[in-house]
Amino acid sequence: MIRHLPEAPTGIRPLAPGDGIDAHHHDTHQIAYARTGVLSVTTRAGAWVAPASRAIWIPAGTVHEHRAYGRTDLRLVGLPVADNPLRLDRPAVLVVGPLLRELLIACTDGQVAGQEAARMRAVLLDRLRRAPEHAVHLPWPQDPRLAAACAVLRDDPGAQVTLASLAASAGASGRTLTRLFQAELGLSFPQWRTQLRLHHALILLAGGEPVTTVAHACGWASASAFIDVFRRAFGHTPGRAFTV
């Protein structure tokens, strides 16, 4: 059952590893920020994953679920529909710099009220307008053939399988899957697999797994290769994934 919440809540929601918030939607926008841990937001269109250096924008009306990896200090900020500083009608991952981080914390800890809270909210909206979007969305397909192929890698992100073998297991040709990846997901097969592996890597890192273990579990031949891809995707090394 999908719950309807008229207003997106603002406040703190501590989550233990593996805890989550089941499918729901609200009539207002929301910013979800994991001060510690890693947060995933999943919709019918795919998943967005964010460590402490990122936040997730969830527009009004979006049916979504939250899931925590690692002990997560979840901060939620609800925004009226009229306040859409990003001008986005879809979820997005945003880069969180030091000032935005402190604003998200201050706006959710309940220590300010009245005019002070209103002024702080105005600054928050201004910083959100300047926050770069970070394309780490993992889209999920609707075509059953492509979904079956993607499920093989979702269950084992480190599997060294070829597009041809995935196509055979899904009852399709390699050419068909190549076309579906681009048509449905807007990514090539290698690009989508890399996104999947990065998402899985964040989850393993949140659980305290060493970088080398994460690299091999997610299909990289070496820790250095993993660190290079991770740095290019997130702008920092895996060791800094949970700090700003």
Q: Are residues 91 and 73 in the same domain?
A: yes
**61 band by pLDDT with thresholds 50, 70 and 90:** very high
pLDDT at 83: 93
Q: What is the mean pLDDT of the chain?
A: 92
Where residue 127 sits, what CATH number does that domain have? 2.60.120.810
Write the CA distances from 59 to 43, 127, 197, 233, integer angstroms: 12, 17, 26, 24
> With pLDDT > 90 as the criterion, what percentage of the chain qualifies?
79
Write the CA distances from 137 to 37, 69, 104, integer angstroms: 18, 17, 22
> pTM of this prediction?
0.86
Q: Which residues pair with 133 in a beta bridge?
A: 94
The yes-or-no verdict on residue 243 having pLDDT over 60 is no
**244 band by pLDDT with thresholds 50, 70 and 90:** low
Predicted confidence (pLDDT) per residue in 39-60, tens digit:
999 999 899 998 888 999 999 9
The yes-or-no verdict on residue 149 having pLDDT over 90 is yes
Predicted confidence (pLDDT) per residue in 111-135, tens digit:
888 999 999 999 999 999 999 987 6
pLDDT at 222: 95
Residue ending a domain, among 82, 101, 134, is: 134
Q: Are residues 107 and 21 in the same domain?
A: yes
Where residue 230 sits, what CATH number does that domain have? 1.10.10.60
Tell me which H or E stretch contains 46. strand 46-50
- Candidate from 58-67, 71-80, 232-241 with smallest mean pLDDT: 232-241
Residue 205 structural domain: 141-240
Q: Are residues 154 and 117 in the same domain?
A: no
The domain total for the chain is 2
Tell me which H or E stretch contains 102. helix 98-106
